[in-house]
């Protein structure tokens, strides 16, 4: 069992990782009231990959804000690992977000003063993880995304596809229950975009990672287990459903469970109508965080 404040998250095997019921979000009041989401119901189980599509203004960004705990719904509930976010304080939602949610963005959001390895290790270091071990885990993750040889390189020395791979490794280093991806291939060419999608599909299948991805690319969405279409704040049930993949949760039960959870970097975004990827790290000094983390050689 994992604690979040005074609440607990149990082992997630074939149970729902994400449960959304009657989710509604409205902005403004009276004549200026706008309903961005209108009664969304959605369930994701462990190892499931869901793509969300829809035209501009359909509610995709509002949905991501709410699922990440960056905003409160007007009505409805969001449960992650069985814990209802609606009943949480601001601090508890921040803690849940740090420990259980991995975030990926269109613009990568890497710190250019840090190497690829340091960017990946940063969430662990700020969360109090021993620096040497954080770097070891970062190195393993970078190897898993095909960047073992690029560990000492800074973002400006990497291609767009390589930067997004670093961002994927950073999102996964905390072993989150839920990975949220906002247009992860939006800044990449078609070749690099296809490689990133193949990598994400592989992560879902091999590690039973639960992921929700917003995308405008129908070919990339087709790699998901299922596609949800939003229109005017509702799930559009009139769109013909694509053939669904065999659910990853049906894979052998001996796939290792995610057990170790550590604090991640806190993220912040500007309130709507700013883009979801308008994000920054809340860290006074990333270099110092790594340098003086418990167990680091420098701290010793």
Q: Which two tokens stand for residue 74?
A: 């007007």
Q: Determine the pLDDT at residue 290.
A: 52
Average pLDDT for the chain: 78
Q: When comparing pLDDT for 64 and 250, which is higher?
A: 64
SS3 173: coil
Q: Which two tokens stand for residue 139?
A: 């190195």
> What percent of the chain clears pLDDT 90, i.e. is strictly above it?
41
Q: Determine the pLDDT at residue 215.
A: 92
Q: Determine the pLDDT at residue 186.
A: 86
Q: When comparing pLDDT for 150 and 252, which is higher?
A: 150
* pTM confidence score: 0.74
What average pLDDT does the segment 41-61 reach? 93
Q: Determine the pLDDT at residue 272.
A: 37
Q: Determine the pLDDT at residue 233.
A: 93
Question: What DSSP letter does each residue of 23-91 carry, written as one string?
Answer: EEEEES-GGG-EEEEEEEEEEEETT-EEEEE--TTSSHHHHHHHHTTSS--SEEEEEETTEEGGG--HH
At residue 254, does pLDDT exceed 90? no
What is the C-alpha separation between 106 and 188, in angstroms, rounded? 9
Q: Determine the pLDDT at residue 288.
A: 45
Q: When comparing pLDDT for 125 and 224, which is higher?
A: 224
Q: Which two tokens stand for residue 79?
A: 């449960």
Band of the pLDDT at 239, cuts 50, 70, 90? Answer: low
| Centroid of chain to Cα 18 | 12
At residue 243, does pLDDT exceed 50? no
Q: Determine the pLDDT at residue 26.
A: 93
Pairing label, strands 101-104, 7-9 = unpaired
Q: What is the pLDDT of residues 15-47, one digit of tens each?
A: 789 999 999 999 988 888 889 999 999 999 999
Q: Does domain 46-60+90-227+235-291 have CATH number 3.40.50.300?
A: yes
Contacts with 238 (C-beta within 8 Å, 6 or more apart), sequence order: none
Q: Return the domain boundaries, the chain.
A: 46-60+90-227+235-291
SS3 149: helix
- Which stretch, 42-51, 64-73, 77-86, 102-111, has highest mean pLDDT? 42-51
Q: Which two tokens stand for residue 62?
A: 């509002």
Is 117:278 a contact under the CB 8 Å cutoff? no
Band of the pLDDT at 270, cuts 50, 70, 90? Answer: very low
Phi-psi region of 39 (alpha: psi -120 to 50; beta: other; left: phi over 0): left
What average pLDDT does the segment 203-231 reach? 92
Pairing label, strands 49-53, 210-214 = parallel
At residue 93, does pLDDT exceed 50? yes
Q: Determine the pLDDT at residue 70.
A: 87
What average pLDDT does the segment 149-166 reach? 93
What average pLDDT does the segment 228-252 reach? 67
Q: What is the pLDDT of residues 114-149, one digit of tens each?
A: 999 999 998 888 778 888 889 899 999 999 899 999
């Amino acid at each position: 069992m994992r604690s979040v404040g005074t609440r607990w998250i149990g082992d997630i095997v074939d149970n729902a990782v994400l449960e959304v019921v009657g989710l509604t979000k409205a902005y403004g009041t009276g004549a200026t009231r706008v309903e961005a989401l209108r009664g969304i119901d959605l369930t994701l189980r462990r190892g499931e990959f869901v793509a969300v599509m829809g035209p501009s203004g359909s509610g995709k960004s509002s949905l991501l804000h709410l699922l990440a705990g960056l905003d409160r719904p007007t009505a409805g509930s969001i449960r992650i690992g069985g814990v209802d976010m609606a009943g949480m304080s601001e601090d508890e939602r921040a803690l849940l977000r740090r420990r259980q949610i991995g975030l990926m963005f269109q613009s990568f959001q890497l710190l250019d003063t840090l190497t690829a390895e340091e960017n990946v290790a940063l969430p662990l270091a700020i969360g109090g993880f021993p620096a040497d071990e954080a770097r070891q885990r970062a190195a393993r993750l970078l190897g898993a995304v095909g960047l073992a040889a690029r560990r000492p390189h800074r973002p400006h020395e990497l291609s767009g596809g390589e930067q997004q791979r670093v961002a994927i490794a950073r999102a996964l280093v905390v072993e989150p229950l839920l990975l949220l991806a906002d247009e992860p291939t939006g800044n990449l060419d078609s070749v690099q975009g296809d490689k990133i999608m193949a990598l994400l599909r592989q992560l879902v299948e091999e590690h039973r990672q639960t992921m929700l991805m917003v995308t405008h690319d129908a070919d990339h969405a087709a790699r998901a287990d299922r596609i949800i279409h939003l229109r005017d704040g509702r799930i559009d049930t009139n769109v013909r459903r694509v053939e669904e993949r065999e659910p990853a949760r049906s894979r052998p039960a001996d796939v290792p469970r995610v057990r170790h959870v550590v604090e991640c970097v806190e993220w912040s975004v500007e309130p709507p109508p700013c883009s979801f990827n308008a994000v920054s790290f809340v860290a006074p000094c990333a270099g110092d965080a790594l340098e003086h983390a418990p167990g680091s050689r420098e701290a010793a």
